[in-house]
Structure 1
Amino acid sequence: MSKARVAVMKIVSKQLTVTAAAAEYGFSRRHLHRLLARYRDGGLDAVEPRSRAPHTSPQRTADEVRERILQLRAELIGNGLDAGPVTIAWHLEQENLQAPSTSTIRRTLHTAGLITPEPRKRPRSSYLRFQAAQPNETWQSDFTHWRLADGTDIEILNWLDDHSRYLLSCTAHRPVTGDDVVTSFLTATERHGIPASTLTDNGRVYTARFGGGRNAFEYLLPLLGVTQKNGSPSHPQTQGKIERFHQTLKRWLTARPAADTLTELQTQLDAFREHYNEHRPHRALNRQTPGQAFRATPKALPAQARTPGHYRIRYDLVGTGGKVSLRRAGRMHHLGIGYHHRGTRILALADDTTVTVIALHTGEILSTHTIDPTRSYWRNNEKTPGRWPRASSRET
């Protein structure tokens, strides 16, 4: 029995006066008279201490908002999308609802049992973050594995802008080849401009430097004035943004029916790219979408700035007559490379005005040709072919 009840009962039964009860039980006379009034109105139960908490709180999260938080959590997870407090707050704002603080959203999710504790997860504060200052300053690239409905292994090749996380290209292959890397890169440059640098791992499709040579991608970048960077071997953290992006991509694909064909998977990837770039807020971008961040800042240019345009590549062998044939606009043209280069495997890179021919095994520029649609034979403009400078392989 509480002390307040005992004091009131002693006074009511006339065992103690109000003054004596106040002295014995440590209450003020004023408070004892208040308790006696409660007793007369509601009996002994009314004597018990009452909560001092306010009946209403202007800061309390509205029931409508609390329910929508839980609904958004379920909807976003069901669609394979990020569903953390920052993302949920962004969606509430888009729906013109008063979004509470992220700590309140986290507390609401935790109370509902929707957060799985990860005590061994490394804290974000322990990471040293790097971000390019401008769009097109650095493009990261890598590919990841996925499976079709019948179990066929597919490789998905991605290009991601380091500054904005804008997904420049996302294509499915079986498997990814060096030609796919070059083609997807050139397609991305036509749409978004030429980057100042690229950052990749040391996969053979990106670099052949550990094998003592160079591949097509390494020949292409110096021609466009692009600096090539490769991460340290066995250190994927250097390409951390593209590695983390693969988690987002796979979570989204997992939430959808498995594609039956490569074409069907590509359709899914195109839909994902549109959603990721334009409709998904990014926590690292202060809840901007990658598309907003990519378009908000002037783009960086290569050290040797070149005008973006359409580039066409072709692999071939120099014929026995020292020539290579190239079809352009429905007409066959012949490029004079040189008789002493017959049998050499070459890479031909053509833009709107010039075709540059490079020997694949040495990196030597064999010839350059001015495009003249009126002529069938294009002479070699390189009277003294020179060695093309090796692409930078600076480890980051």
Structure 2
Amino acid sequence: MAANEPIDPRVRLAISQWPDDAPRGAVAPFCIEHGISRQSFYKLRRRCRQEGQAAILEPRSCRPRSSPTKIADDAVSEAVQVRAALAASGLDHGPISVYEKMTSMGLDTVPSTASLARIFREAGVARIELKKRPRAAWRRFVYPAPNACWQLDATEYVLTGGRTCVIFQLEDDHSRLEIASHVAWTETADAAITVFDKGVTEHGVPQRLLTDNGSALNPSRRGFLGQLVVHVQKLGVEPITGKPYKPTTQGKNERLHRTLFQYLHAQPMASTLAELQIQVDAFDLIYNTERPHQSLPGRITPLAAYRATDKAQSPRPQPDRSIPVPGGSMCEPPQSPRTVIRKL
């Protein structure tokens, strides 16, 4: 008989009718013949004497007498409701996000993230995903201090009526803080400078600015010197780019775009740039100050992470060589013969 397999009712009946004057040594052959252990035989015999013959004819339930880890129905209902509210608001609504939200609400019972995942699967509200790589397998580079590097990128958005526009998002690499955002009709260097200056006014000058190789951001790899590059270099900022056709270099900003669109899709569709800017500003406030960030230690908010570490030292601005020098001449910066300055 296989382990944990129920004992046949006929064997149970034979044990219940086992004569008290059975010859010595008869139990072992009986157990071997029917594939049960002597411990099981004597256990059933003892129960038969204590509770009667009917008590051993059917196997007892294996269900535990108590389930101290069972989650109350009220807690299950609250978890599903919190998840639905987060989803309706356009915010992350996975088990970790729901756990953080329920904790911040001060609810009496907050299931663990594993329990929440099981609750959502059983409720049919979770999206079944393929098994992912464990977080420990990812090695993401992070600058050691706020303002050591900012990432700037733009993403396209469609207004009511079908007209497209772009949303610039400027993010701090260390803390994931949304430094600034700006809505414009097209991706231009002027719009990029606007959002960068907005961030500098609020948070100071960064040491580096990471962008893609777009013509409005940093076309240096194409042999051109863009307006944004010239603008940030005057402040002493080092403009850097990712490899062509490799957006994972700006992975933090790409992930920020996805979080933004998740929020915007839950809002009424904007019809003007002003309406869209109001929605983006509301997202920035929630993202920076309310939403626990799962990529930060302790799942703190980006603003808390930004304030937890001293800012990187601001770079020295470059000297303005267009200022007149004694003698009335202008000292223009030398240009490489292979470099073309083009206003983009």
TM range (shorter): 0.7 to 0.9
Report the residue type matching 1:86 in the other structure. Answer: I
Greater fraction of residues in strand: 1
Instruction: Identify which of 57, 64, 74 aligns with 2:67.
Output: 57
Aligned pairs (5 A) from 1:216-231: 216-231=227-242
1:181 CA drift (Å): 1.0
Partner of 1:366: 322
Shift of 1:123: 5.6
* Seq. identity, %: 34
Q: How many corresponding residue pairs?
A: 318
Q: Which amino acid aligns with 2:19?
A: T
- The two structures have a TM-score, normalised by structure 2, of 0.81
Superposition map of 1:60-75 within 5 A: 60-75=70-85
Corresponding letter in the other structure for 1:118: E
Pairwise CA distance, 1:16: 3.8
What is the DSSP-based 3-state SS (H/G/I as helix, E as strand, rest coil) of the residue aligned with 1:146?
Answer: strand
Structural mapping, 1:215-294, within 5 Å? 215-285=226-296, 286-294=298-306
Q: TM-score, normalised by structure 1?
A: 0.72
Please give the secondary structure, in 2, of the residue aligned with 1:169.
Answer: strand
State which of 189, 199, 212 in structure 1 corresponds to 2:223.
212
1:373 match: none
Q: 2:95 aligns with which of 79, 85, 93?
A: 85
State how far apart, in whole Å, the 1-side matches of 2:8 and 2:69 are: 33
Equivalent position of 1:184 in the other structure: 195
CA distance in 2, matches of 1:68, 1:268: 28
Q: How far does residue 251 in structure 1 lie from its aligned partner after superposition?
A: 1.0
Instruction: Note closer, same or farther for the CA distance 1:29–1:128 as it changes in structure 2 (3 Å cut).
Output: closer
1:170-216 CA-partner distances (Å, limit 9, x unpaired)? 22110121111112111211111111111000111112324533122
Q: Which amino acid aligns with 1:76?
A: L
Q: 1:145 to 1:37 in 2, by over 3 A?
A: same
1:117 is aligned, of 128, 131, 138, to: 128
* 2:322 counterpart SS class: strand
**Which residue number corresponds to residue 34 of structure 1?**
47
Cα contact 1:8–1:35 (8 A) shared by 2: no
Name the SS of the counterpart of 1:284 in structure 2. coil
CA distance in 1, matches of 2:288, 2:327: 44
Q: Which has the higher contact order (CA 8 A, sep 6+)?
A: 2
How far the C-alpha of 1:156 sits from its partner, in A, is 0.5
> Structure 1 residues 19 and 239 mapped into 2: Cα distance closer, same or farther (>3 Å)?
farther
Aligned to 1:83, the other structure's residue is in SS state: coil
Residue by residue, what CA displacement relative to the aligned partner does 1:333-371 show, whole Å, maximum 9, x if unpaired? xxxxxxxxxxxxxxxxxxxxx9x5xxxxxxxx4336xxx
Measure the CA separation in 1 of the matches of 2:136 and 2:47. 55
Which amino acid in the other structure matches residue 128 of structure 1?
Answer: R
Which stretches in structure 1 are left out of the alignment for 5+ residues? 307-353, 357-364, 369-378, 391-396
- Does residue 102 of the first structure (1) align with residue 113 of the second (2)? yes
Which is worse superposed, 54-63 or 276-285? 54-63
**Cα offset, 1:79, TM superposition:** 2.0
Choose 184-193 or 70-79, whichever is displaced more: 70-79
- 5+ residue gaps, structure 2: 1-5, 32-37, 337-344
1:303 equivalent to 2:315? Answer yes
Does structure 2 conserve the Cα–Cα contact (< 8 Å) formed by 1:222 and 1:389? no
Q: CA deviation at 1:257?
A: 1.6
CA contact (8 A) 1:206 1:215 kept: yes
1:165 aligns to 2:176 (yes or no): yes
Matched residue, 1:195: 206
Contact 2:159 2:272 in 1 (8 A): yes
Matched, 1:155 2:143: no
Higher helix share: 2
SS at match of 1:283: coil
* d(CA) in 1 for partners of 2:312, 2:335: 23
CA distance in 2, matches of 1:303, 1:247: 31
Question: Secondary structure at the residue paired with 1:367?
Answer: coil
Residues of 1 paired with 2:326 and 2:300: CA distance? 50
Which residue number corresponds to residue 144 of structure 2? Answer: 133
Whether the aligned pair in 2 keeps the contact of 1:38 and 1:47 (CA below 8 Å) is no
Shift of 1:104: 2.3
Q: 1:17 aligns with which of 16, 19, 23?
A: 19
Contact conserved, 1:160 with 1:242, CA < 8 A, in 2? yes
| Cα distance in 1 for residues equivalent to 2:94 and 2:180 | 26
**Mean CA deviation greater in 381-390 or 55-64:** 381-390
Q: CA deviation at 1:253?
A: 0.7
Q: Deviations over 1:224-268 (max 9, x none)?
A: 111111111111111100011111111111112211111111111
CA distance in 2: counterparts of 1:68 and 1:181, whole angstroms: 44
Distance 1:382 1:282, change over 3 A: farther
